[in-house]
Amino acid sequence: MIKLVEKLYETQNLTDSELKSLITAEDGETAYQLRFRADEVRQRVYGKKVFLRGLIEISSYCRNDCLYCGIRRSNFSAERYRLNREQIISCCENGYKLGFRTFVMQGGEDAFFTDDYMCGLISEIKEKYPDCAITLSLGERSFESYKRMKEAGADRYLLRHEAADGKLYSKLHPKELSLENRMECLFSLKKLGYQTGSGFMVGAPFQTADSLAADLRFLQKLQPQMIGIGPFIPHRSTPFAGQTGGTLELTLRMIGILRLMFPKALIPSTTALGTIAPNGRELGLQTGANVVMPNLSPVSVRKKYDLYDNKICTGEEAAECAVCLRRRIESAGYEVSEERGDAAV
Ligand code: 5AD
Ligand code: FES
């Protein structure tokens, strides 16, 4: 399969059947070559820089019922919380002191966060930190809502498409959600000028090499600036509690493939990857990822933003994420950037 890695490296593309062969290639030589080429491409475009995004998990209330997610509305054992304005601003203050120049406000689809409320919050943060980028990750909203928040100063939006294969999408989501609407949201975000992020889980129940290939094809169509992927990890109180999770090897293979297909993309080495392997995030960085997202949420709520089991960075040591990640980035051979970290053009 080394030949396929080389072809992907040279041309940024493969045929469907080649793509599937590479996705399923489990041998060590392929893994080695993919990592070697992915790192070469990432260093050509971004050098050794790793961009930091301070993640603020603003609410664990969610009106949706995605079958894989620990904060789905039918999980009655989930603990719910919502940060108030002062708490969110103080996370930003803290993050700014730690050198972060991007704040990501992420949460479940919580009706409390109206457009008026979000626009007020966004302009307040922008006024205080004009040199910082604001990223939102608040799920599906209307075109008008995305538009207003953009006008208020939001720069980026993360909305994983989750599964580009319609059949798989409907096995992972309740009937009320449609892949069509998801995709429409993503195209709206791009049209409105957001730097847009999409992505999917690796090793989700019922996922096949075909569905992963469909995810890559969809990303080629969308051309997002950011692509977030991480292993699926079962959550004990969801319908998928008994399913097996995604593996480190497949996740790394997908990160490497993404770097070769999308040389300029911003690709995070995710907390989920760090959860399934102690050095998962370092390996992600060495296989083409160039972003990490330290958790800036107040320690008191971190356990409650409980998307999957055994999530790291939720204990008492959690105040140290920024320091911990800095050390990990350096130990993996990279350097922390103090820039906003917009996508290369
Ligand atoms: N395992 C891994 N990732 C998950 N997400 C939600 N639930 C899980 C899980 N059980 C991911 C989704 C979502 C992102 C915020 O977290 O892909 O888009
Ligand atoms: Fe949170 Fe290491 S990144 S403790």
pLDDT tens column, 239-273: 999 999 999 999 999 999 999 999 999 999 999 99
Can you list the alpha helix ranges (DSSP code H) found in the chain?
Answer: 2-11, 16-23, 28-46, 85-97, 115-128, 143-151, 166-172, 179-191, 209-222, 248-261, 271-276, 280-286, 299-302, 321-331
What the block records as the tokens of 106 is 């992420």
**82: which DSSP letter?**
B
- For residue 90, give the amino acid letter: S
Instruction: Name the closest ligand to CA 60.
Output: 1
Report whether residue 323 contacts ligand 2, using a CB cutoff of 6 Å.
no
Top mutation candidate among 320, 331, 336 for ligand 2, by most atoms within 8 Å of CB = 320
Whether 190 has a pLDDT exceeding 90, the answer reads: yes
Q: Give the ligand 2 atom nearest the CA of 317.
A: 4
pLDDT at 340: 97
pLDDT at 209: 98
Closest CA to ligand 1's atom 2: 232
Give the integer Cα–Cα distance in Å for 156 and 133. Answer: 8
CA angle 41, 45, 137 (to 5 degrees): 100
| Ramachandran angles phi, psi of 170, nearest 5° | -75, -15
156 neighbors 134 (Cβ within 8 angstroms) = yes
Mean pLDDT of the chain: 97
Q: How far, in Å, from the CA of 301 to the mean position of ligand 1?
A: 18
Other CB atoms within a 10 A radius of the CB of residue 293 amount to: 24
pLDDT at 218: 98
Q: How far, in Å, from the CA of 295 to the mean position of ligand 2?
A: 8
Give the integer Cα–Cα distance in Å for 29 and 143. Answer: 46
Top mutation candidate among 325, 326, 327 for ligand 2, by most atoms within 8 Å of CB = 325
- Residue range 63-104, pLDDT digits in tens: 999 999 999 999 999 999 999 999 999 999 999 999 999 999
Residue with tokens 């993360």: 158
Q: Give the ligand 2 atom nearest the CA of 320.
A: 4
Q: How far, in Å, from the CA of 160 to the mean position of ligand 1?
A: 9
Closest CA to ligand 2's atom 3: 321
Report whether residue 240 contacts ligand 1, using a CB cutoff of 6 Å.
no
- Residue range 288-338, pLDDT digits in tens: 999 999 999 999 999 999 999 999 999 877 778 989 999 999 999 999 999
Report whether residue 291 contacts ligand 2, using a CB cutoff of 6 Å.
no
Whether 137 has a pLDDT exceeding 80, the answer reads: yes
pLDDT at 315: 86
pTM above 0.75, yes or no: yes
Q: How far, in Å, from the CA of 135 to the mean position of ligand 2?
A: 21
- Nearest C-alpha neighbor of 189 from the set 239, 149, 237, 130: 149
Whether 204 has a pLDDT exceeding 90, the answer reads: yes
The pLDDT > 90 percentage for the chain reads 97
Instruction: Name the closest ligand to CA 201.
Output: 1
Give the integer Cα–Cα distance in Å for 166 and 185. Answer: 16
pLDDT at 168: 98
The pLDDT > 70 percentage for the chain reads 100
CB hemisphere CA count around 117 (13 angstroms): 11
What the block records as the tokens of 343 is 């996508």
Report whether residue 258 contacts ligand 1, using a CB cutoff of 6 Å.
no
Give the integer Cα–Cα distance in Å for 203 and 200. Answer: 10
Class of residue 178 by CB neighbours under 10 A (exposed 0-12, middle 13-18, buried 19+): middle
